[in-house]
Amino acid sequence: MPDKDEKVRRKQILHEVRDQQRQKIRDAFPASVLVLKSLFDFLDEKLSEADCDDTFRFTREYIQRNTTDEDHVIRWLEENGGHWIARYWTM
């Protein structure tokens, strides 16, 4: 059985690995976390007023208003289950 110091060391390693994984995911984002949060807040507001039509029309509207790289964001959303991401993020 590992001693107390070994348990602490293992726990630190697990935290470091988790932090590295999170950073890798964040590095793959098509925009900053603040921009994505703003986008998903915008989508949450729009979808409370209108039904989802399974298109990126509200996303495109946000992008046009905020001069974010549309192709990059849309491609990232398509590759990563965009509809699910927006719903998960706003929970």
Contacts of 56 (CB under 8 A, 6+ apart): 74, 77, 82
Is 0.75 surpassed by the pTM of this model?
no
Whether residues 23 and 37 share a domain: the answer is: no
**Are residues 45 and 89 located together in one domain of the fold?**
yes
Are 16 and 43 part of one and the same domain? no
What's the domain count of the chain?
2
Both 7 and 38 in one domain: the answer is no
- What is d(CA 9, CA 67) in angstroms, rounded to the nearest whole number? 45
| Domain membership of residue 90 as a residue range | 31-91
Let me know whether 18 and 49 are in one domain: no
pLDDT tens per residue across span 16-56:
999 999 898 888 888 888 998 999 899 999 989 988 887 88
Number of residues that this document lists for the chain: 91
Per-residue pLDDT at 87 exceeds 80: no
Cα separation, 4 vs 15, in Å, equals 17
Structure tokens at 2: 């590992």
